[in-house]
Amino acid sequence: MLGLGLAVSHAPSMFRGLEHWPLIHRVLTDGVPQPPEIERETPEVIQRYIDRIHLGFEALKQRLEAFKPDVLLVVGDDQAEVFTEANMPTYCLFTCAEVHGSINIGLIGEPEEENHITLR
């Protein structure tokens, strides 16, 4: 029986400090003109976003730890990180005791070979 549902986005900036946000923004907008309101996103405003993101992740962590699930089912998409168009399954089921990964972002020039998940 499903007892708890949690959800979170995975935008690249959510996992980076303030110093990376301008570069991530430039890469993701790819030269598309931005509205004038973008000027309101000062470093102080962005830092408040980052603080809220961290608080949100902490709240999710606390809820998950309090629930003490026997099983954790994570639903996500691959975005060609593990599979390619030559073999892109509709669903993939993986079971493990631990998963470790990297939050490396190739889009901003971080080495692709460091963006990986290690299965143990």
pLDDT per residue as tens digits for the range 73-109: 888 877 777 788 898 888 888 888 877 777 777 777 7
Query: Residues 60, 72: contact at Cβ < 8 Å?
Result: no
Q: Where are the domains of the chain?
A: 12-119
The CB-based long-range contact list for 3-9 (8 Å cut-off, 24+ gap) reads: 3/67, 3/69, 4/63, 4/64, 4/67, 4/69, 6/60, 6/63, 6/64, 8/56, 8/57, 8/60
pLDDT per residue as tens digits for the range 16-70: 899 989 999 988 899 899 999 999 999 999 999 999 999 999 999 999 999 999 8
Can you state the percent helix, strand and coil of the chain, rounding each to 5?
45, 5, 50
Q: Distance between CA atoms of 83 and 89, rounded to whole angstroms? A: 8
